[in-house]
Amino acid sequence: MVQKTTVTYVDDLDDSVTDDVQSVTFAHEGRTYEIDLGAANREAFAELLGPYKTAGRRVGRAASSATTPARSKSSDLAKIRAWAAAQGIAVNERGRISASVREQYEAAQK
C-alpha cells in the first residue's frame, strides 16, 4: 500500500491556494502578529503600509524570551507536516506545529 501526502499552502486572508505563501510578521499597538500571505496579498499589504513606514521611524526589536524557538521556513513546515502524516501523527494543514511533533521530527532526522 502506498500513502501519498499532499501539502497545500493557503493564504490566510483570502483562503486562496498557492505555492508562494510566506509568513508576514507585523506589530500594532504593542502586539506582534503573523499572517501567511500569497504574493498578491503580500504586495497589497506592503503597499498599504508604505506611507506609514515612510513617515514612521524604525525601532529596535523587542526583547524576545530565550525559550522562543527560531521561526521555521514554509518548506520546513511542509516537510514536518508530510513526515507527521506518514507517521500517522495528526497535524493541522495550517497554523503552528506543536513542539512535541517538531522534536519527534528532528529526532527522526538524526
pLDDT for the residue numbered 99: 87
Model pLDDT for residues 4-45, shown as the tens digit of each residue: 888 888 999 999 998 899 999 999 998 999 999 999 999 999
Domain-wise residue ranges, the chain: 22-109
Q: Tell me, yes or no, if the pTM score tops 0.85.
A: no
DSSP state string for the chain: ---------B-TTT--B-TT-EEEEEEETTEEEEEEE-HHHHHHHHHHHHHHHHHS---PPPPPPTTPPPPPPHHHHHHHHHHHHHTT----SSS---HHHHHHHHHHH-
